[in-house]
Amino acid sequence: MQKYQIKEDIWWVGAIDWDVRDFHGYETPRGTTYNSYLITDEKMALIDGTRKGFGPEVLRRVRSCCELSQIEYLVINHVEPDHSGDIPWLLEQLAPVKILTSKRAREILRWYYGTQVDGWDIQIVGTGDEVSLGKYTLSFLEAPMLHWPDSMFTYVKEAKVLLPNDAFGQHLATSKRFADEVDMNIIMDEAAKYYANILMLYGGQVQKIIAKVAELGLEIDAIGPSHGVIWRRPEDIKRIIEAYVAWSRGEARQRVALIYDTMWHSTEKMTLAIEDGIAQEGVEAVVLRLGRTPLAEVARAVLESRAFLVGSPTLNNTMFPTVGGFLTYIRGLRPKDRISGAYGSYGWSGGGVKQIDAELKSMNLTVLPPLEFRYVPTEEDIAACVEYGRELARQVKEWGQERPEAS
């Protein structure tokens, strides 16, 4: 099989999932990869398992670099099933190996794979622990909640290669392995979506781990995440780390995301009028209709926009189901430092906008007064929507003057 070398004796031996379009609810139009890495040193180590069904592809790639019987260590940085689903099968194919993993990962392995785990040869490792392979040393750094309690980074010291599992990843299937070989706009598009949907709620932990890497003085020649392409050019490494710093701080563009659904087009008319008001103030707006826009894209728009409004008609005294689903999802992702607001139309009783307003307030956002109209917005109502958009845009511009902008 095609061999992919990162550094001398360090190989990518992952699997490419061209087909996956739904990753536990996260839409993945470009597929993904499950990245494993192999170090063919005096002692050989396989870093990270793979998703159930992808083990044979990983082992075919391993066999192109060494004999399976030569592998002495399996590092498990993270137990989520996209990286551990085929570990029981892999262990049957390999000669007895020592598993290097965190204490929390061992506990989670036991939850997933039961009593067989008791028979596995597991060495618990934590921050600062090192294992020598010969010319290379594996150094471990626990990264709890990036994005599970067990998450861990492996650093190949002498090669200056960081293998941080999910961090810095992208759901992107490609036959190219390095960021500098693929359109950077696509990579950053997928990296932002990945951060929004997997890591947005863990901004504090992201900042801590980046500070820890700096404190330890780790020099980095390459970052090999568990999904997508590998970062190796200094400017690309700088770019993704700076993006993580900005996202974790809640920095965003001077932009408003209008997230809505509509029944008989009244909330849609309001949406377009608000968008017009925002545009009149020279601020960018993006309009996203729920049910037609993948939720992962909507979450990314929230990550990248200083403000987001949520619009819904009232249906049976409540908000539209698509809007309810979005609010549940985005509440879990905990966007911070955002201006928000609720708007929509109703017929006789109302209720939907009030519910959205309460939801937004519970998320600790800066929430504008709600805006709602009966049945079909009149010309005066449309004018009020335009003014609502203008006022929001003015607030976004003021906010932007006080805070740094993410690129």
Q: Which residue lies nearer to ligand FEO by CB, 54 or 148?
A: 148
Catalytic, 343? Answer no
Annotated catalytic residue within 24, 215, 219, 380: 24
Q: Is 82 a catalytic residue?
A: yes
Does residue 227 have an active-site annotation?
Answer: yes
For 310, the 3-state DSSP assignment is strand
Q: Are 85 and 52 in contact (CB under 8 A)?
A: yes
146/283 with CB nearer ligand FEO: 146
Burial of 47 from C-beta contacts in 10 A (0-12 / 13-18 / 19+): buried
In whole angstroms, how close is the CB of 227 to ligand FEO at the nearest point? 6
Which position among 28, 35, 174, 226 is part of the footprint of ligand FEO (CB under 6 A)? 226
**Binding test (CB under 6 A) with ligand FEO, winner from 30, 61, 83, 177:** 83
Enumerate the H helices of 102-156 as residue ranges: 103-113
- CA dist., res. 335 & res. 360, Å (int): 11
What are the contacts of 231-237 at 24+ separation with CB within 8 A?
A: 231/168, 231/178, 231/179, 232/6, 232/178, 232/179, 232/180, 233/179, 233/180, 236/179, 236/180, 236/184
Catalytic site includes residue 121: no
Residue 82 within binding range of ligand FEO, rule CB under 6 A: yes
Among 80, 150, 357, 381, binds ligand FEO (CB under 6 A): 80
Closest separation between CB of residue 111 and ligand FEO, Å? 15
CB nearer ligand FEO, residue 329 or residue 399: 329
Q: Which stretch binds ligand FEO (CB under 6 A): 80-88, 106-114, 174-182, 328-336?
A: 80-88
CA distances from 375 to 270, 274, 309 (A): 11, 17, 20
Q: Is residue 166 annotated as a catalytic residue, yes or no?
A: yes
**Are the C-beta atoms of residues 309 and 259 closer than 8 Å to each other?**
yes
Smallest gap from Cβ 104 to ligand FEO, in A, equals: 13
Residues 6+ apart with CB under 8 A from 24: none
Q: Which residues are catalytic?
A: 24, 78, 80, 82, 147, 166, 194, 227
Which residue ranges make up the site for ligand FEO (CB under 6 A)?
78, 80, 82-83, 147-148, 166, 226-227
